[in-house]
C-alpha cells in the first residue's frame, strides 16, 4: 500500500507538499492560538512538517497518517531532527476513514480532501476525531481567477470549471456544512512557484541519475512542458488556502 512512485520522485525534495512555505505554515500555527499540549491529528500528513514544527514551536502532540512510505519515513526523521519524536508519531496507512482513538483538539487535512471524497466528506471525517469546540483545518484549492473554459481548468489539473469554487463560494460551502470559518491563511503565487518549481530541479537530478528508468520518458516530457503550463495556468488561475473551522 503506497502512493504511485512518480509522486514520490517529483516531491522527494519537499518538506511541505502544498503551496505553503515555512513562513505561511508558521503563520497558520500562530493564528490558531493553540494551547501547549493540544492534540492534533493530521490526515495525509506528507512529510510531517506541520506536526513537527508546531510541536517544536507550540508544544503540541500529535499523530500524522499518510499512504506514502517514503514521506512517513521522512516525517519520522524530521521529528528526530527537531527533537520532537517524543511528542509526535507518524503512521503509514490510508487516511481515508481514519478516526483518532481519542478526541483531538485539532483535526486537519491539508490538500487531500480525496480522503473524504471531497470537502463535505472530509469535514465529516474530521469531525469524527474532534472534541467538542475543537478546530477543523481543511486545506483546499479554489479558483483565484475564473477559468474561461474547461480546457483551462484541465490545464490546472482539475476536471473542469465546476470542479472548484471561487474563494467566496468555498467559504459559503463551509457555512452550508454547519461550520464557522474562524481563520484562514492563503497561499500566494510565490508559494505556487516554490511548490511547482522545486519539482523541476528534483526531477532533472533524478533523471540524470536514472536515465533508463521505466518512468524516465514520462518525466522528461513533463519537465519540458511543466514550466510553461505552470506559468500560464496554475500560477494564474489556482488559489489554495487552509481554512480553520468550528462547528456551530
- Confidence at 111, pLDDT banded by 50, 70, 90: very high
Per-residue pLDDT tens over the stretch 55-66: 999 999 999 999
pLDDT of residue 156: 97
Q: How far apart are CA 12 and CA 68, in angstroms?
A: 11
What is the structure's pLDDT at 192?
96
pLDDT at residue 142 above 90? yes
Closest CA to 88 of 127, 132, 126, 49: 49
Separation between Cα atoms, residue 143 and residue 192, nearest integer Å = 14
Backbone angles phi, psi at 12, to 5 degrees: -65, -20
Average pLDDT score over residue span 92-110? 96
pLDDT digits (tens, 9 = 90+) for 190-202: 999 999 999 999 9
pLDDT score of 19: 97
Percent of the chain exceeding pLDDT 90 equals 99
Provide the CA 100 distance to its chain's centre, in angstroms: 19
pLDDT at residue 60, rounded to an integer = 97
* Residues 138-155: b if buried by 16+ CB within 10 A, e if exposed: bbbbbbbeebeeeebbeb
The residues, ordered by sequence, that sit 6+ positions from 6 with a Cβ below 8 Å of its Cβ are: 215, 218, 219
Instruction: Give the largest CA-CA distance in the chain.
Output: 55
Confidence (pLDDT) at 1: 83
180: exposed, middle or buried (Cβ count in 10 Å: 0-12, 13-18, 19+): exposed
Question: Which phi and psi angles does 194 have, rounded to 5°?
Answer: -65, -40
DSSP tag of 163: G
Task: Give the span between the Cα atoms of 127 and 120, in whole angstroms.
Answer: 11
Are 32 and 244 a contacting pair, CB within 8 Å? Answer: yes
Dihedral pair phi/psi, residue 215, rounded to 5°: -95, 0
What CATH number is given to the structural domain containing 92? 3.40.50.150
Between the alpha carbon of residue 229 and those of residues 134, 155, 209, 236, 246, the distances in Å are 39, 7, 25, 10, 37
Distance of alpha carbon 26 from alpha carbon 88, whole angstroms: 17
Short-list 157, 6, 19, 141, CA closest to 68: 6
| pLDDT value, residue 110 | 98
| Single pTM value for the model | 0.96
- Per-residue pLDDT band at 155 (split at 50, 70, 90): very high
Strand order in the sheet with 39-43: 88-92, 61-66, 39-43, 104-110, 130-143, 238-247, 179-186
Domain that holds residue 104: 5-247
Q: What DSSP string describes 59-80?
A: --EEEEEES-HHHHHHHHHHHH
Q: Into how many domains does the chain fold?
A: 1
Mean pLDDT score of the chain, rounded to an integer?
97
Q: For 20-56, what is each residue's pLDDT tens digit?
A: 999 999 999 999 999 999 999 999 999 999 999 999 9
Amino acid at each position: 500500500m503506497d502512493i504511485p512512485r512518480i509522486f514520490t520522485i517529483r516531491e522527494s525534495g519537499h518538506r511541505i507538499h502544498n503551496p505553503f512555505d515555512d513562513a505561511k505554515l508558521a503563520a497558520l500555527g500562530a493564528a490558531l492560538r493553540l494551547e501547549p499540549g493540544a492534540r492534533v491529528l493530521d490526515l495525509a500528513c506528507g512529510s510531517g512538517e506541520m506536526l513537527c514544527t508546531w510541536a517544536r514551536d507550540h508544544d503540541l502532540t500529535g499523530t500524522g497518517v499518510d499512504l506514502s512510505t517514503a514521506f512517513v519515513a521522512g516525517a519520522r526523521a524530521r521529528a528526530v531532527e527537531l527533537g520532537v519524536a517524543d511528542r509526535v508519531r507518524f503512521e503509514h496507512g490510508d487516511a481515508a476513514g481514519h478516526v483518532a482513538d481519542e478526541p483531538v483538539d485539532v483535526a486537519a487535512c491539508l490538500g487531500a480532501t480525496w480522503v473524504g471524497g471531497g470537502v463535505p466528506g472530509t469535514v465529516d471525517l474530521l469531525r469524527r476525531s474532534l472534541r467538542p469546540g475543537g478546530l477543523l483545518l481543511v486545506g483546499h484549492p479554489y479558483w483565484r481567477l475564473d477559468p474561461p473554459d474547461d480546457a483551462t481548468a484541465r490545464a490546472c489539473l482539475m476536471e473542469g470549471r465546476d470542479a472548484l469554487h471561487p474563494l467566496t463560494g468555498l467559504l459559503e460551502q463551509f457555512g452550508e456544512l454547519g461550520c464557522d470559518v474562524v481563520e484562514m491563511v492563503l497561499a500566494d503565487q510565490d508559494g505556487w512557484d516554490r511548490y511547482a518549481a522545486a519539482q523541476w530541479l528534483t526531477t532533472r537530478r533524478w533523471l540524470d541519475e536514472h536515465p533508463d528508468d521505466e518512468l524516465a520518458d514520462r518525466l522528461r516530457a513533463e519537465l519540458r512542458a511543466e514550466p510553461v503550463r505552470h506559468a500560464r495556468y496554475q500560477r494564474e488561475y489556482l488559489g489554495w488556502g487552509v481554512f480553520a473551522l468550528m462547528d456551530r
